[in-house]
Structure 1
Amino acid sequence: MNAFVRISLIASTALVAPTYAVAAEAPAAAAAAAEQPAAGVENSSPRTTSGDVIIVTARRRQETAQAVPLAISVIRGDSIEATGNFNVVKLQQLAPTLQVYTSNPRNTSVNIRGLGVPFGLTSDGFEQGVGIYVDDVYNSRVAAATFDFLDVAQVEVLRGPQGTLYGKNTTAGAINITTNQPTFDFEGRAEVSLGNLQYRQAKAAVSGPLTDQVAVRLAVASTSRRGIYFNTATDRYINEQDNLGLRGQVLVKPTDNLSITFSGDYSRQNPECCGTVFVRVGRTQRALNRQYDALVASINTARRAQGLPDYAVPSRNPYDRLTDLDSSLNAGNKIGGASARIKWDVGGGTLTSVTAWRFWDWKPENDRDFTGLSIVSKSQNPSQQDQYSQEFRYNYSSDRFDVVLGLFGFKQRIDTQGTEQQGTDAARWSLAPSANPLAPVNNPSSLAGLTATNTQFLKSTSAALFGQVAWKATDALTIQPGLRLNYDKKSGFYQRVVTDAQGRSLSCTPVPTAGTIAGTTTQCGVYQPQQTSPSDSAWNLTYDLNINYKLARDVLAYATYAKSFKTLGINQNGLPLNADNTVNLDASTVKPESVNHFEVGLKTQFWNRRATFNVTAFRTEIKNFQATVNGGQFGTVRGYLANAEKVRSQGIEADFKVRTSERFTAYTNAAYTDAKYKKFTNAPCPPELSGGTFVAANGSQQPGPAGVPGSLSPRACDISGQGLPGVSKWAFSYGAEANAPVELLGKDGQLYFGVDGNYRSKWNSNASPSIYTQVKGYALTNFRAGFRGDNFDVFGWVRNAFDVNYMDLLQVAPGNVGLIAGQPGDPRTWGGTIKYNF
């Protein structure tokens, strides 16, 4: 712990939003409260506040960000647009302890401090540890994070458990997105951006009254951009952007103490996505003649016999951004819904009701072997989701008490239809070589056309009663306990039917079931029929306690303890196989997570509130951490869930922001995060310790050395003490903007120049950290310059200005052949934007 404290003291700056415009008009009461001194603190003379007053709703009431005793980042809409961070995936460039990684919209991990969701292929059978809320509506799937921000006023990133304030229990934090609301004054805005890579973006919003009691707001956004990888197999660019978003809101205000807001939104993406490029080959323990280079050579021998040219990847330099994927690619994605939010001032408080329905329609096509060879010729896993939620919340404030009481109900159903098919090169790729010309490895038809068709559904029901009371024991001291009672029930169904090239259903049992034929050992070693119907439920009681003390007028200290819980999970994507190729039914369900969270922080403002400095130290311990694992088998079809015995994340975050005058503002953010598996003794092995013959189950044999072909492989690996995937120990972001008043073309305004950037140290991109999937640290720098007036803004921008090569994600190809594929990040992009407000 002493080492942790020493490291913590090194950090000097971290999470804060870049700010150079007020996000929302501060309510008079909140602004006045911000000016009040702490008990015993002199306020001998009035003074002008030079810093921004940032209003947040993190605690389900309006208050200044500096008055909230928790770690929170506030990122305003104008900052999001100016820095080009158009969705949650990009938002991590401004918020260092936010980690977002995506190989496609469904396989998106949104974590805070390294915690939230298992890193890797996504399963529908677990809960999100980071809740995503848009205008108080919980979005249960992280695919929503990949859509463009649409008419956003601000984003609040809350770190740490939030279950006693928010509808759905969240163990790692919450992202609270607030959109611009209908107004009774007519207003509007329009924005157009053009850039290289055929980048086109247009946004528009208009708001105004229909009557004295009804106002409406309409918003639309469209984004398109050429892909950044060139696919030589199809002679076109892939991983493009093709997004459209629509939102409409109607505000009905029949009386001063009652408002009803009806909202509807629809977004769609339709890109040819999401492909990868060749990155490297790493030696595994598989026999050398069954690793990547030898397999390609063997296939080329067969190709020459057929008069076909040799196969080779178009480039072994991933930053050439060339690929040759031969399977269909698609990331068709539609999401939307409707909600009704009622706010009624009654009984000295405010009663809020939020009723919502949301849908998600996902139509993917992938190249799961990551090559231009026909190994996995088809990989599709389309799904459809409907969710319904109802939240009732009552807020009450008095001189001594602030109270939040809530009741939350949630119901969800997800249906999925999956297809995965083996191609003409599958036999030589997956089977041991043989001199016998009649052996399955020498007969492409032994696996070609073998198809796994999956049908599955998940039903999830959740209900909770939660509350929090802030007792102002003195004018300086506040004691804030919270409590949550939660019930969850999950039931699922998974069925995999395996058919051969003639469409005949196969059985892998000693006696084939009715209507099937016996599958060969070769076929059953790749896909096995499965059927499971896991179901479970759980009650849990969680609680937290926050104590905060106002040391001075602009100095707030706080300490928090939270006992939190992530409910049970069920495996929905097919179970792994045992060593004898039987299905491991023990992996059907995973245990709930048990979370203990500790946090202390200090929030300060000085120099007449021109400067803000906040610092937070935290430690989170989780028992039965839910991890996504993948043993490298084709037969699992996707990743599956398992429990790690214990995980710990600790670190420090600090932020500094200064606004010297109306002419200059700057910020710098930093975070140190030490997140690791404290105990994970039965983890899947990384590729360098996989692919060989398993050691004897009785423990009489020892595994061979890592990366040595033909060595014995462990049945499982102890990765205790290793870092969690996806987490950089060090992360920084910074920004500054300077402006000068000028008159241009007869218009008064400001000529301005801005810079922002971020750095992340190395991190690992595999569930079990591997020497082959370590992503190097990188730093990105962006510039912008322009001219703005009262109702317009014209500026040019360059992102990744120094054209840094960096990797967004690395993936291990299935089959333990040593192939590592990846997704390089965006190269240098540039363009211009015009905004007009009226």
Structure 2
Amino acid sequence: MKVRAQRSALAMAVVLASATEIPAVHAQDSDALMLEEVVVTARRRSENLQDVPLAVTAFSGDALDMRGISDISELAQAVPSVTLEPSRATSTTLTAFIRGVGQQDPLAGFEQGVALYLDDVYIARPQAALLDVYDVERIEVLRGPQGTLYGRNAVGGAIKYVTRRLGDEPELRLKASYGSYNQVDLVGTGSMPLGDTVKVGATVASLTRDGFGENRTTGDEHYDKDLFAYRLSAEWAPADSLLVRLAYDKSEDKTNPVAGHRPYPGAASGAPVLDDIYDTRSGASELPSTAGIDGNNEIEAEGFMVSVDWDLSPAATLRSITAWREDYTESVIDFDSLAEMDMDAPVIYDNEQFSQEFQLLYSSERWNAVAGFYYLDATASNDFDVVLGQLNVIPGFPGITAYTGGEVDTEAWSVFADVTYNLTDRLALSVGGRYTEDERTADVFRGQYAGFGSPFFGNDGALFLAATSDYEADKTYTDFSPRVNLSYAVSDDVTLYGGYSQGWKAGSFDPRGANFVTPEVEKGFDPETLDSYEIGVKSSWLGGRAVTNVAVFYSDYQDMQIPGSIGFDTDGDGVNDDFVGTVTNAGQAEISGIELEGSVLFSEHFSAQVALSFLDASIEEWIFNGVDVSDQREVQNTPEEMAYLGLTYTNGLLGGDVTVNANWSYKGDITQFEVPSPVLDQEAYDVINASLVWISGDQHWLLGLYGKNLADEEIKTAGYCFGFQDCPSSLGLEDNTTVFYAPPRTVTATVEYRF
């Protein structure tokens, strides 16, 4: 779809850049209305979204501002087959699923099934990965395996978070927001050229909010937010053929600990169920169980990136991306969510990674190709106590503590290539492949102590009872993953495509596994593989006033890596006094579905956006103790149905443009974990949002009013199941099942000045 960039008098000021988003309006010389062309880099080159034979959804930064999107989890409301949520007991750890593929557990040793990229840098760990949205150029969501075009192989898909490039003229953006629960967000972004070859920029963000609820034990806010972040960047272009980009970012999150809602009374304490699902009686942050981290709940994350683009010729570009990232977390997890010290955990995550990627990109009239080399050196470690404070096995030493310390190192390299050849002006063939060598090294110790905490967390008086794991192991995994895709432009407005791609994720080691009980733990768990077949059609119609993208896929998912943990009884007294990690390579799952995205421009003032997905996800084989229990297992975090409808009206007002958007999203029933649990699982639900945005005619001012979850739906996002009912096993004495919830209804007002 060829569109001039000439703006009509009544055109919308900004665009949500995808088939499901608020479209910008453009008028050609003939005054014919058309949707704006959407440009993405899903295949490592700039292309019209409608020409990309992949299932891709893209959002521009200005579009995200129009909707008032605060973090990337909200994108899942408008993208088919996608679930994005904060992990349980956290505010900034990401749980991501695409087409039934993802990872629930943020422990060391587990990589995510959905790859997250920040400016082409793969983020290896989920901590601090629930990225807030500011200073964004665009976000792209790619569904299906990705590996022949990107640095790291991804089984389920990829999310590309691309920050805003620096302009040729001085720029300044100042944004202030105030909303429900005393939300105060301040974001400042500026950039300026220093001479003809150098540009510098910076962004500072302070994002704060009182809690949706109250901690009735400590008096603190509960489900609050306290984040400070900044980003520094520079660009140097000493010649037309050379561009060097540097960026450094850092964030500090001091949000209070998050504890789940208890659906059942305390079995030992008798504490009743609270009326407000956002309130808690959690007291772990002030109890001896978390004294080793002073009850802290804090995350620091930072990273540095240098990218170099060197145009070897008009057709060839050599690119280098060098990056280092680190994050450190001290977290309080109160499994019982009570003032009692029944089941508490101080947790430390410490992650560091270095990556180097080289790409050679080639483009000509017939050929488009990318070839690359990727190297990753990453260390992920976690240390945590599980303090069962109401158990007592040694006189004079109240409480039992299970300490786990595990470090998993990853050293991986890969070579990949993807070549597209235009067989004719309308027919194109893409062939790609990736070879990966992934070495995992683990150092794991698990011990049981009498007392409120282990020596690692400062309790030198703890009495050592027994070690349940103590081993070092390493293993190297190799794989070749292919991709083939054929696309045919039936006309200038319709493209058909079909293809096959394979995703692969290396095996690893579970730091919670008890190798003294189960020696197989030292052998680690196996890789998982997904074979995906997809056909689709991308079409533009009504003279460029509408687009419709449809994808149909089938995935054969082998050896799914399913982590979990269960309590067990070490002394045979009938009470579980320890726990052990479990990782299952489930035999096979089959996931198929149909996805639709579309936009239609009814007039220069009124438009609609739609997204749908229908999935059939089932476990076909799951062997447990020699028995196939697949009929008792479900694919996690994958609703069978999803729908999204947005209506947008734009018109001139007070010398500018006002845009009104109302949107409705629907998700079908969600099973949180592989074993259904009615108290944790979320039934089908709707979310209604609305926004009112005015932009001045000179584009300097933006005034916005945003309402989210206007029907005030109570939406479960995660939970812990260590209680006495509908749980795989119990731990603690208080019937410890807890549930976490998405935000309630909120309203936010924003004013932004752009210069």
Whether TM-score is above 0.5 comes out as yes
What corresponds to 1:308 in structure 2?
Answer: none
Letter in 2 for 1:475: D
Matched, 1:335 2:292: no
- Counterpart code for 2:686: A
1:796 aligns with 2:705: yes
How far, CA to CA, are the matches of 2:197 and 2:588 in structure 1? 55
The answer (yes or no) to whether the contact 2:121–2:323 under 8 Å persists in 1 is yes
Inter-CA distance 199–836: structure 2 relative to 1 (3 Å threshold): same
Residues 1:594 and 1:786: Cα distance change in structure 2 (over 3 Å): closer
| Structure whose residues are more often strand by fraction | 2
Q: How does 1:635-654 map to 2 (within 5 A)?
A: 637=579, 639-654=581-596
Aligned to 1:587: 521
Give the whole-Å Cα distance in 2 for the aligned partners of 1:362 and 1:518. Answer: 26
Other-structure match for 1:727: 638
Q: TM-score, normalised by structure 2?
A: 0.88
- The equivalent residue for 1:610 is 545
Of 341, 354, 359, which residue of structure 2 is paired with 1:388?
354
Provide the C-alpha distance between the structure 2 equivalents of 1:502 and 1:137, rounded to a whole number of angstroms.
Answer: 41
Say whether residues 1:470 and 2:424 are aligned partners. Answer: no
Q: Deviations over 1:539-564 (max 9, x none)?
A: 11110100000011110000011133
Range 463-472 or range 807-816, more displaced: 807-816
Contact 2:299 2:330 (8 Å CA) reproduced: yes
Describe the superposition over 1:755-805 as per-residue Cα deviations: whole angstroms up to 9, x where unpaired: 122111111122322344321111011112242212211122221112222
1:502 & 1:788 partners in 2: Cα distance? 58
Q: Which moved more, 1:618-627 or 1:227-236?
A: 227-236
Q: Does 1:217 align with 2:197?
A: no
Contact 2:263–2:273 (CA under 8 A) maintained in structure 1: no
1:781 aligns with 2:688: yes
SS of residue matched to 1:609:
coil
> Which amino acid counterpart does residue 575 of structure 1 have in structure 2?
G
Using a 3 Å threshold, how does the CA distance of structure 1 residues 548 and 90 change in structure 2: closer, same or farther? same
Q: Scaled by the length of structure 1, what TM-score is found?
A: 0.80
* Candidates 368, 376, 399, aligned match of 1:449: 399
Moved more, 791-800 or 390-399: 791-800
Q: 1:421 to 1:516 in 2, by over 3 A?
A: closer
Instruction: Assess if the C-alpha contact under 8 Å between 2:708 and 2:745 holds in 1.
Output: yes
Query: What SS class does the counterpart of residue 458 from structure 1 fall into?
Result: strand
Equivalent-residue separation in structure 2 for 1:555 and 1:346 (angstroms): 34
Amino acid at match of 2:130: T
Query: Residue 473 of structure 2 aligns with which residue?
Result: 534
Corresponding residue for 1:407? 373
Per-residue deviation, 1:534 = 2.5
1:34-70 Cα deviation digits (max 9, x unpaired) = x9xxxxxxxxx99957111111010000111111000
**Candidates 21, 24, 33, aligned match of 1:18:** 21
Q: Point out the structure with max Rg over C-alpha.
A: 1
Aligned to 2:178: 194
Asked if 1:75 corresponds to 2:59, the answer is yes
2:160 corresponding residue in structure 1: 176
Q: Alignment partner for residue 536 of structure 2, among 598, 601, 612?
A: 601
Q: Report percent identity of matched pairs.
A: 24
Q: Give me the CA root mean square deviation.
A: 2.7
Counterpart residue number, 2:571? none
TM-superposed deviation, 1:221: 1.4
1:629 and 1:717 mapped to 2: Cα distance?
18
Amino acid at match of 1:55: V
Q: 1:809 to 1:516 in 2, by over 3 A?
A: closer
Question: How many residue pairs get matched?
Answer: 704
Distance apart, 1:532 and its partner CA: 2.0
> Offset at 1:742?
2.2
Q: How far apart, in 1, do the equivalents of 2:307 and 2:47 lie? A: 20
Q: Report if aligned partners of 2:564, 2:581 keep a CA contact under 8 Å in 1.
A: yes
Structure 1 contact 450–500 (Cα < 8 Å) conserved? yes
- Provide, for residues 187-213 of structure 1, a one-character-per-residue CA deviation record: whole Å limited to 9, x for no partner: 121111101201111111111201110
- Shift in Å, 1:675: 1.7
| 1:424-482 superposed Cα distances (whole Å, 9 cap, x missing partner) | x235xxxxxxxxxxxx6xx9x57723333333211101101000110100011001000
Contact kept, 8 Å, 1:15 with 1:97, in 2: the verdict is no
CA distance in structure 1 between the partners assigned to 2:258 and 2:454 by the alignment: 32
Question: C-alpha separation between the residues in 1 aligned to 2:671 and 2:693?
Answer: 39
Q: CA deviation at 1:246?
A: 0.6
Q: CA offsets, 1:712-736, max 9 Å, x none?
A: xxx9871347431211111112212
Indicate the SS of the match to 1:61. coil
Decide whether aligned partners of structure 1 residues 15 and 568 sit closer, same or farther in structure 2, where only a CA change above 3 A counts: farther
Kindly state the Cα deviation for residue 148 of structure 1 after the two structures are TM-superposed.
1.2
Name the counterpart of 2:741.
Answer: 824
Residue 91 of structure 1, CA deviation: 1.9
1:379 to 336, 342, 345: 345
Aligned pair partner of 2:272 in 296, 299, 313: 313
Q: Contact 2:23–2:599 at 8 Å: present in 1 too?
A: no
Partner of 1:448, secondary structure, is coil
CA distance in structure 2 between the partners assigned to 1:373 and 1:448 by the alignment? 13
Match of 2:630, SS? coil
Check 1:517–1:799 CA distance in 2 against 1; reply closer, same or farther (3 A cut).
closer
* Runs of 5+ unmatched residues, structure 1: 1-13, 26-34, 36-44, 281-291, 300-310, 428-439, 507-514, 684-714
Structure 2 CA distance, aligned partners of 1:343 and 1:254?
A: 12
Whether 2:740 is the aligned partner of 1:833: answer no
2:191 aligned residue (197, 204, 207): 207
Q: 2:606 matched to 1:673?
A: no
Q: Secondary structure at the match of 1:381?
A: strand
The alignment status of 1:139 with 2:146, answered yes or no, reads: no
Specify the alignment match of 1:480 in structure 2.
Answer: 430
Determine the structure 2 residue equivalent to 1:56: 40
Q: Which residues in structure 2 correspond to 1:695-714 (within 5 Å)? A: none
CA contact (8 A) 2:335 2:720 kept: no
Q: CA deviation at 1:518?
A: 8.2
For residues 32 and 583 of structure 2, what CA distance do their matches in structure 1 show? 55
Q: In the alignment, is the contact (CA less than 8 A) between 2:380 and 2:409 conserved in 1? A: yes
Q: Go from structure 1 to structure 2 and tell me whether the alpha carbon gap of 1:15 and 1:763 turns closer, same or farther (over 3 Å shift).
A: farther
